Amino acid sequence: MASLGSFLLLTAFVVCSYTVVASVVGARRRSRRLIESGIGAFYLIAALMTVASGVIVNAFLTNDFTIKYVAHYSDSVQPLFYKLTSYWGGLDGSIMFWVFLLSIFGSIAVYVNRERYRELIPYVVAVIATVQAFFLFLMVVHNNPFTTFLTATPPDGEGLNPLLQNYWMVIHPPSLYIGLVGMTVPYAFGMAALFTGHLDDSWLRAVRRWTMFAWLFLSFGLMLGMIWAYEELGWGGYWGWDPVENAALLPWFTATAFLHSVMVQERRSMLRVWNVTLVILTFFLTIFGTFMTRSGVVQSVHAFGDDPALARLFIIFMVTILTVSFGFVIYRLPLLRARNDLDSWLSREAAFLVNNWILLFCAFFILFATMFPTLSEAIAGERLTVGPPFFNQWMLPIGLLLLLLTGIGPLLAWRKSTIRNLRDSFLWPTVAALTTAGVFTALGFRVWVSGLCFALCAFVTGTVVQEFWRGGNVRRRATGTDLFTAIVGLVGRNKRRYGGYIVHLGIVLIFFGFAGEGFKQEQQVLLKPGEQTTLGHFSVRYDRLTIRDDGQKQMTTAFVTVFEDGRQIATMYPAKWAFHKHEDEPPTTEVAIRRSIAEDLYIVLAAYDAATQAASFQMFINPLVNWIWLGFGIMALGTGIALLPERALAFAMERMPGEAAATTAALLLAVLLGAAPLAAQQHTGESDIAPILPRNEIEKSLGERMVCLCGGCGKEPIGTCTCGYAAGIRREIAKFVDEGMTEDEIIQHYITELGGQQILGTPLNQGIGRLAWLFPYLLGASGAFVVGFAAVRWSRRSEKPRAGEQPQEDADLSERLDDELRNLD
Amino acid sequence: MTHRYIKIGATVLVLALAFSGLLWSTLSEGAEYYKHVDEVMTSPEQWHGKPMQLHGFVVPGSILVNPNTLEYQFKVENNGHVVNASYQGIMPDTFKNEAEVVLKGRLTPGGFHTDPNGVMAKCPSKYEPAKKVG
């Protein structure tokens, strides 16, 4: 099997090389056949990578420990779920996964756009295939995941690092990779436009959606990483300015900048060089991030591989990217000249420009600070480092400035704002900001940074609400419906604009959560059973320590009772798990978090003495943290709206009466918004839902085999989950056992009741159950297919009679809207 | 046209100068030396009081805990040079005998004084190079 995998990678590399040559030569000679052949070969790479992925996944599933990669990142007792995800658990596999995703996305992008951007496509194919070829080359010569042991094969694998055996960590890398890999597509289109000289604004249209899509996944990946750090690492925070985190954040800044400046080019045909530069930089930073985290160039407390050979290859590749890309930008400068000048600094384009500079500055600042140890060593010969305080010192004011611009930008008119516009637009948001600042001061809070942040949050919220209110009223008068339907219609008519405002609302919530950091409280304490300590308005009593073993790991759990104003409010179970396979590694920290919308109580069992039962705890009160996750949800919702094909909502509207559409949208929103706090609440841990000791073998076994389905706790085993849902299931199981049912009968009962095997942590290994693990992948694949199909349909439809007419109408409407808004008194 | 370029140039220059100035001043406060134990302990006097991150390995059997407190005393060595270190607070799980650690703090004549939360032990990352097995 391993040789098949190696062979597939080698073949993919050869096909890649052919694709590049065929596409470029085909485009130069205008040979339709060569170009088509190049495209065909391009799809073939995706097919080859899919099969190769199948081979490695199969190797993990069948415990093929002859393959070094499998032996290193998996073992025979690992749950099926983690066996699969070990695919991207290590360096070699993650590179392969990268190429796999790139080949899939590249193929979709080429398939969707092959008719509309006929001149660009051969070069798009060539650029993406070159990037693929680089990574395939890395694998073939240096990091082949299919390398086998030459001599003795180990009887069992070493197992995935326990820290990574976490639900969030499973979905975090794919999401981040989708984001990072997705940025290659805009780069390929940008480069194709530069190569061909077709530098009108049409290439932007092709990449806008892709960038937004990739940006969404990048944001989502960053957030999942934050949640993972918060829940699993147990240091009480979510962002530590670690080089690995920074590496993923860098392209996020440039991509965000691009999503804004692209609007200026569309509306005003300005910033054309700037946009190409941003696309190139974003792509470059994704590669640079990969380089930084995998080659050992930046030293961090995280032990990244120190691999000079890999570093050299990456450096050659990066230098090539920069030289070729910017070489072409300079060569094409005459074609990229702006068609308009900046009329006034009091205009929306100027605000966008400033926002771009700041975002870019963020990227470069973080790059500089992350590389500072390496730089200082190279220049001064002295290794100096900068820590999180340095990052915070800079990023705090910059972040606040960005937040302010988030509010100001949309209020300014294109071209030039008059004093009257300014007064009209800024009055209410400013009032909101000042009121918030006043209330904040009156309540006696004295953290001025947080206060400023709250005021700015109010300001931005004010602007967004005002935009919706005014736009909704204009439309209400025009269409004669109620305000709510009018607002839904407004969003439907101008999805990018209003989707963008919703994204801004998400940003506001995230900043709101960040501001909570200013009120963080921390305590480190050593307690004996029965002793009590106070943190903020909570009293925390340490009751006892239990040590249990479930075969895979030894679990040491502390029972902690929390009181608020003398009233018992919760029992919490901070724990430490020592995995048997990883005895040389430290036990993992299982943080106990009592979530609420206002603040999290976060308790870590830091150390314990089994003999005396004395335990040391680290406790935090983290105010407003959950607003960050909620903000990301809103951001995703807004991006989703902006991403909808132009006609998706209109199509629905035609067939639905206005009220029905409005109600549906409202319901959907309510469900989406309600889900997050609900899920969080279910996992708070009430007093009667402590994990109880199983009374017999059946209960013990079921407690391990079944997982919690409440949705809030990432499928913890029923036996150890501390949420109300799990407690209920445990009671039910106890009842069934008392009634004399066997283990299989109980499982069968749940399968029938739930209509599937979802309650089982690992699907039953029989019949259809074997296919169960395929389900998420099938779902993902069919989702991608549906999206792709819709995109194709949409692109074809808009090409025919509506080609010039549809966007025109939209632009007209928004122009009219802008005018009417300006005249509003 | 030239007038405009002068204006743009001047703005960029002023901004760049302001930023470099700010960067310089914050860096001189925020930067810490990153040193290995042997680099520092050859002439410890010149490092007294300077903020630094000290890289080394915990000497086996040197970890002492004051009972019922969170006060730690231990020794860190690198290439034969040893320094006494003290710390008060919660130790990371990864801190143990022979662990590779980075301590944040200041060197004093009495030993290395570690800041609160200043112990960073190398933590396992998934991007470690594959161990040479077999």
Q: What is the pLDDT of residues B96-120, one digit of tens each?
A: 788 888 888 888 888 898 888 888 7
User: Which has the minimum average pLDDT: A606-610, A731-735, A762-766?
Assistant: A762-766
Establish if A345 touches chain B: CB-CB under 8 angstroms. Answer: no
3-state secondary structure (DSSP) of residue A45? helix
State the CB neighbour count (10 A cutoff) for residue A710.
21
| Residue A86: closest C-alpha in chain B | B126
Mean pLDDT for the stretch of residues A423-435: 90
Does the CB of A394 have a partner CB in chain B at under 8 Å?
yes
- In this prediction, residue A684 carries a pLDDT of 35
- What is the average pLDDT across A573-590? 80
3 state SS for A350-399 = HHHHHHHHHHHHHHHHHHHHHHHHHHHHHHHCCCEEECHHHHHHHHHHHH
**A151 in the same domain as A7:** yes
Report CB contact under 8 Å: B35, A152.
Answer: no
Q: Which two tokens stand for residue A80?
A: 């099926």
Q: Alpha-carbon distance A71 to A269, whole Å?
A: 55
Residue at token pair 């607070």 = B89
**Amino acid identity, position A456:** L
Inter-chain touch A304–B69, beta carbons under 8 Å: no
- Distance, in Å, from the CA atom of A620 to the CA atom of A564, rounded to the nearest integer, reads 15
Q: List residues in chain B touching A: CB distance below 8 A.
A: 19, 26-27, 30-35, 53, 68-70, 89-94, 96, 102, 104, 117, 120-131, 133-134
Same domain, A721 and A587: no
Look at residue A244 and tell me if it is in a domain: no
Q: Which amino acid is at A277?
A: T
Looking at the predicted structure, is the pLDDT value of residue A404 above 80? yes
Residue A209 has a pLDDT of 86
Gap between the Cα atoms of B8 and B14, Å rounded = 10
Q: How many CB atoms lie within 10 A of CB B106?
A: 18
One domain, residues A99 and A39: yes
Nearest CB neighbour to B128, from listed A303, A524, A587: A303
Of B90, B120, B134, the CB nearest to A616: B90
Q: Which of A72, A376, A576 sits opposite B131 (nearest CB)?
A: A72
What is the per-residue pLDDT for A759?
A: 67
Structure-token pair, residue A571: 């029992």
Percent of all residues in chain B with a pLDDT value above 90, rounded to a whole number: 4
**Closest CB to B126 among A152, A164, A373:** A164
User: How many distinct structural domains can be found in chain A?
Assistant: 4
Instruction: List all residues 6 or more positions away from A83 whose beta carbon is below 8 Å from its beta carbon.
Output: A60, A61, A74
Q: For testing the chain A interface, which of B69, B90, B96 should be mutated: the one with the most A CBs within 10 Å?
A: B90
pLDDT of residue A808: 46
pLDDT at A804 over 70: no
Residue A517 DSSP one-character state: G
Can you read off the two tokens belonging to residue A816? 């009219």
Q: Which residue would you say has higher pLDDT here, B130 or A201?
A: A201
C-alpha distances in angstroms, A336 versus A133, A272, A397?
Answer: 30, 6, 34
Q: Is the pLDDT of residue A457 over 80?
A: yes
Q: Give chain B positions within 8 Å (CB) of A588.
A: 93
> Is residue B129 helix, strand or coil?
coil
User: B124–A585: do the CB atoms touch at under 8 Å?
Assistant: yes
A279 pLDDT band, cuts 50/70/90, is very high
Contacts of A334 (CB under 8 A, 6+ apart): none
Query: What is the pLDDT at residue A802?
Result: 40
Q: How far apart are CA A99 and CA A46, in angstroms?
A: 9
Other Cβ atoms less than 10 A from the Cβ of A760: the count is 18
The encoded tokens of residue A183 equal: 């940025």
Q: Which residues of A581-603 are buried (b: 16+ CB within 10 A; e: fewer)?
A: bbeebbbbbbbbbbbeeebbbbb
Confidence class of residue A296 from pLDDT cuts 50, 70 and 90?
Answer: low
Per CB-CB distance under 8 Å, the chain B contacts of A361 are 19
pLDDT above 90 covers a percentage of chain A that reads: 35
| pLDDT tens-digit series, residues A82-93 | 888 888 878 888
Hey, are the CB atoms on B127 and A585 less than 8 Å from each other?
no
Tens of pLDDT along A767-790?
333 333 344 344 455 555 555 555
How much is the average pLDDT of A184-190? 94
Residue among A365, A384, A603 with most chain B CBs within 10 A, to mutate? A384
Verify that A713 and A587 share a domain, yes or no. Answer: no
Q: What is the CA radius of gyration of chain B?
A: 22
Which of A361, A526, A576 is nearest residue B68 as measured by Cβ atoms? A526
Ramachandran angles phi, psi of A399, nearest 5°: -60, -45
Higher pLDDT, A323 or B80: A323
Q: Are residues A718 and A810 in the same domain?
A: no
What distances in angstroms separate CA A151 from CA A67, A68, A561, B132, one per listed residue?
Answer: 12, 11, 55, 12
Give pairs for A739-742: CB < 8 Å, separation 24+: A742/A698
CA distances, A121 to each of A110, A113, A115, A131, A203 (Å):
7, 8, 9, 15, 11
Smallest CA–CA distance, residue B110 to chain A, in Å, is: 24
Q: Which residues of A touch B69 (CB under 8 A)?
A: 526
Return the structure tokens found at B98: 């022979």
Q: In the prediction, which pLDDT does A817 show?
A: 62
- Looking at every residue in chain B, the average pLDDT score rounds to 79
Contact B122 A304 (CB under 8 A): no
Q: What sign does the dihedral B120-B125-B129-B132 (CA atoms) show?
A: positive
For chain B, report the end-to-end CA distance as a whole number of angstroms.
71
Distance CA A501, CA A497 (A): 6
What is the DSSP secondary-structure string of A159-194? ---GGG-SHHHHHHHHHHHHHHHHTHHHHHHHHHHH
Q: Interior CA angle at A83 toward A79 and A89, to 5°?
A: 125
> Mean pLDDT over residues A541-550, rounded?
89
Mean pLDDT of chain A: 81
Of B69, B104, B120, the CB nearest to A526: B69
Distance from CA of A554 to the nearest CA of B (A): 15
- Residue ranges in A409-447 assigned as alpha helix (H): 419-442
pTM for this structure? Answer: 0.78
Strand-pairing partners, residue A402, are none
Q: What is the average per-residue pLDDT within A723-752?
A: 77
Nearest C-alpha in A relative to B121: A301
* Minimum CA–CA partner of A386 in chain B: B31
What's the CA gap between A365 and A372, in Å, rounded?
10
Q: Domain for residue A7, yes or no?
A: yes
Residue from A75, A71, A94 nearest A2 by CA: A71
Pairing of strands A384-386, B31-36: antiparallel
Q: Binning pLDDT at 50, 70 and 90, where does residue A181 land?
A: very high
Chain A nearest C-alpha distance from B119 (Å): 10
A306/B34 Cβ within 8 A:
no
- Same structural domain, A615 and A704: no
Chain A partners within 8 Å of B102 (Cβ): 301
Minimum distance, in Å, between the CA of residue B64 and any CA atom of chain A: 14
- pLDDT > 80? residue A105: yes
| A69, A161, A305: residue with CB nearest B124 | A161
**Integer Cα distance of A484 and A723 in angstroms:** 38
Domain boundary among the residues A625, A649, A681 is at: A625
Q: What angle do CA A87, A90, A94 make, to 5 degrees?
A: 65
CA dihedral in degrees (A286, A292, A294, A297; nearest 10)?
A: 160
Tens of pLDDT, residues A137-151: 999 988 889 988 877
Check pLDDT > 50 for residue B56: yes
- Report which of B101, B93, B94, A387 is spatially closest to residue B85, judged by C-alpha positions: B101
pLDDT at A783: 54
Q: Are strands A567-572 and A553-564 parallel, antiparallel or unpaired?
A: antiparallel
pLDDT band at A721 (very low <50, low <70, confident <90, very high): low
Higher pLDDT, A179 or A794: A179
Q: Average pLDDT for residues A445-462, to the nearest whole number?
A: 90
Residue A118 CA, chain-centre distance (Å), reads 32
**Which ipTM value was assigned to this complex?**
0.75
Last residue of a domain, one of A744, A764, A784: A764
Give yes or no: residues A18 and A159 share one domain. yes
Contact A722, A685 (CB under 8 A): yes
Range with lowest mean pLDDT among A185-194, A670-679, B51-60: A670-679
Residues of A whose CB is below 8 A from B122? 301-303
Q: Enumerate the residues of chain B whose CB falls inside 8 A of the CB of residue A301.
A: 102, 120-123
- What is the C-alpha separation between A362 and A400, in angstroms, rounded? 12
d(C-alpha A762, C-alpha A61), whole Å:
12
Residue A231 pLDDT more than 80? Answer: yes
CB contacts of A585 in chain B (<8 Å) are 124
What SS3 state is found at A245?
Answer: helix
The answer to whether the beta carbons of residues A678 and A708 sit under 8 Å apart is no
Range of the domain at A810: 775-823
Closest to A520 in 3D by CA, of A774, A89, A104, A230: A230
DSSP for A457-474 reads HHHHHHHHHHHHHHHHHH
Assess if residue A538 is contained within a domain.
yes
The CATH number that domain B33-121 falls under is 2.40.50.140
Residue A72 and residue B130: Cβ atoms within 8 Å? yes
Inspect the interface and report whether the beta carbons of B27 and A387 lie closer than 8 Å: no
Same domain for A146 and A11: yes
- CA separation for the pair A677, A626 (Å, rounded): 8
Segment A509-529 mean pLDDT: 91
- Model confidence at A662: pLDDT above 60: no
pLDDT top residue among A794 and A105: A105
- Nearest-Cα distance to chain B for A699, in Å, is 32
Task: Sort out which chain B residues have CB atoms less than 8 A from A72's CB and list them.
Answer: 130-131, 133
Please give the share of chain A, as a percent, with pLDDT higher than 70: 81
Contact call for residues A313 and A142 (beta carbons, < 8 A): yes
pLDDT tier for residue A673 given thresholds of 50, 70 and 90: very low
Q: What is the pLDDT of residue A706?
A: 75
Cβ–Cβ gap A384/B122 under 8 Å: no
Q: Rounded to whole angstroms, how far apart are CA atoms B27 and A394?
A: 11
Averaged pLDDT, B115-126: 67
CB pairs under 8 A between A and B: 117
Specify the long-range contacts of residues A378-387, CB closer than 8 Å, at least 24 apart: A382/B33, A383/B33, A383/B34, A383/B35, A384/B31, A384/B32, A384/B33, A384/B34, A385/B31, A385/B32, A385/B33, A385/B34, A385/B53, A386/B27, A386/B30, A386/B31, A386/B32, A387/A241, A387/B30, A387/B32, A387/B104
Residue A823 in this model has a pLDDT that exceeds 70: no
Question: Is A239 contained in some domain?
Answer: no
**Best CA proximity match to B104, nearest among B55, B52, B58:** B52
Candidates A746, A757, A769; CA nearest to A697 is A746
The distance from CA A515 to its chain's CA centroid, rounded to whole angstroms, is 21
| A571 falls within a domain | yes
Crossing angle of helices A202-228 and A243-268, rounded to 10°: 150
Task: Say what the pLDDT of residue A430 is.
Answer: 92
Can you tell me the mean pLDDT for A587-611? 88
How many Å lie between the alpha carbon of B55 and the closest alpha carbon of chain A? 10
CA distances from A574 to A242, A535, A578, A691 (A): 25, 16, 14, 12
Q: What is the model's pLDDT at position A678?
A: 36
Q: Which residues of A383-404 are buried (b: 16+ CB within 10 A; e: fewer)?
A: bbbbbeebbbebbbeebbebbb
Give the pLDDT of residue A301. 44
Contacts of B53 in chain A (CB under 8 A): 385
Beta bridge partners of A760: A706
Say yes or no for a CB contact (<8 Å) between A149 and B128: no
The full set of domain ranges for chain B reads 1-31, 33-121
- My answer on whether A604 and A710 are in the same domain is no
Neighbour tally for B3: CB within 10 Å: 7
pLDDT digits (tens, 9 = 90+) for A8-17: 999 999 999 9
CB contact under 8 A, B90 and A589: no
Tokens (6 digits) for B71 = 């006060």
Are A17 and A137 within 8 A, CB to CB?
Answer: no
Distance CA A346, CA A413 (A): 8
Domain ends where: A601, A625, A649? A625
Residue A709: phi, psi to the nearest 5? -110, 20
Whether residue A737 is found in the same domain as residue A704 = yes
pLDDT at position A259: 93
What pLDDT does residue A784 have?
56
Give the pLDDT confidence score for residue A818 in this predicted structure. 63
